[in-house]
């Protein structure tokens, strides 16, 4: 059972079950806990190799026990995500914790990853349960439905879930090259049905300066 203690600490109540969390993110616990490092995020040999090849490496640990365990990482804001059989796409560096029953994997993101400086692959979390993602400042959750697509700055994008198509939109014109560009030359456009998490802060991206 995930709950937030303040906005920057995640408390997980456990009764003999397990969660997967970012390695070293435990700040406190009470009760009996066992921490086990999971090579390759618990995805087996194949997952491990995939992660090594795609550069989407994450070191996770499995926490199992009775009691309450507290997680936090560099005072980032934590956002809870509940999954009901759908898929969450998140950068491995932004994933803090996931239920033990959720499956993690990697997927190809296409151009979006390249523009936001994350690499071309992202982490997926799939199944039913809860997960916690981190953002710089509390994330805003925006719904995308067939009637209204959403455009997001690659630097502010954190995660998305549901059945969404993303395509990369570029407004680069000759004015951009002249230094008179609109400042928002690259955007990711989401269409379909799902949720997008954006943070109130922009990472430095390749497209950030044009």
- Sign of torsion over alpha carbons 97, 101, 106, 109: negative
User: Which residues in 47-106 contact other proteins (CB under 8 A)?
Assistant: 77, 79-82
38 or 202, CB closer to other proteins?
202
Q: Are 57 and 50 spatial neighbours (Cβ–Cβ below 8 Å)? A: no
Q: Are 68 and 29 spatial neighbours (Cβ–Cβ below 8 Å)? A: yes
CA Rg value for the chain: 18
- Sign of torsion over alpha carbons 70, 71, 73, 79: negative
From candidates 48, 141, 191, 193, binder to other proteins by CB under 8 A: 141
192 binds other proteins (CB under 8 A): no
CB of 170 to other proteins, least distance (A): 12
From candidates 110, 119, 149, 192, binder to other proteins by CB under 8 A: 149
> 3-state secondary structure string, 146-180?
CCECEEECCCCEEEEEEEEEEEEEECCCHHHHCCC
From candidates 47, 100, 117, 181, binder to other proteins by CB under 8 A: 181
15, containing H or E segment:
strand 9-22
Q: Are 90 and 133 spatial neighbours (Cβ–Cβ below 8 Å)? A: yes
CB of 114 to other proteins, least distance (A): 18
9 binds other proteins (CB under 8 A): no
180 binds other proteins (CB under 8 A): yes
The residue range among 30-38, 39-47, 94-102, 148-156 that interacts with other proteins, by the rule CB under 8 A, is 148-156
31 or 137, CB closer to other proteins?
137
From candidates 150, 159, 164, 166, binder to other proteins by CB under 8 A: 150
Question: How many residues comprise the chain?
Answer: 210
Q: What span, in angstroms and rounded, lies between the C-alpha atoms of 119 and 51?
A: 12
CB of 41 to other proteins, least distance (A): 25
Positions in the binding site for other proteins (CB under 8 A): 2-4, 77, 79-82, 136-143, 145, 148-153, 155-156, 171, 175, 178-184, 195-196, 198-202, 208
């Amino acid at each position: 059972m995930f709950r937030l203690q303040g906005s920057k600490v995640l408390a997980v109540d456990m009764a003999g079950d397990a969660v997967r969390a970012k390695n070293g993110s435990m700040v406190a616990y009470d009760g009996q806990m066992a921490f086990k490092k999971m090579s390759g995020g618990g995805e087996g040999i194949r997952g491990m190799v995939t992660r090594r090849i795609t550069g989407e490496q994450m070191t996770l640990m499995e926490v199992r026990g009775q009691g309450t365990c507290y997680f936090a990482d560099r005072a980032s804001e934590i956002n809870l995500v509940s999954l009901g059989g759908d898929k969450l796409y998140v950068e491995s560096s932004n994933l803090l914790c996931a239920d033990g029953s959720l499956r993690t994997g990697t997927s190809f993101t296409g151009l979006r990853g390249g523009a936001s400086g994350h690499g071309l692959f992202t982490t997926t979390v799939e199944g039913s349960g809860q997960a916690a993602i981190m953002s710089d400042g509390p994330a805003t959750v925006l719904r995308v439905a067939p009637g209204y697509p959403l455009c997001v700055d690659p630097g502010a994008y954190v995660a998305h879930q549901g059945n969404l198509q993303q395509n990369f939109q570029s407004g680069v014109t000759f004015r951009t090259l002249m230094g008179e560009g609109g400042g928002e030359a690259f955007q990711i456009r989401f269409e379909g049905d799902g949720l997008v998490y954006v943070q109130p802060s922009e990472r430095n991206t390749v497209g950030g300066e044009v």
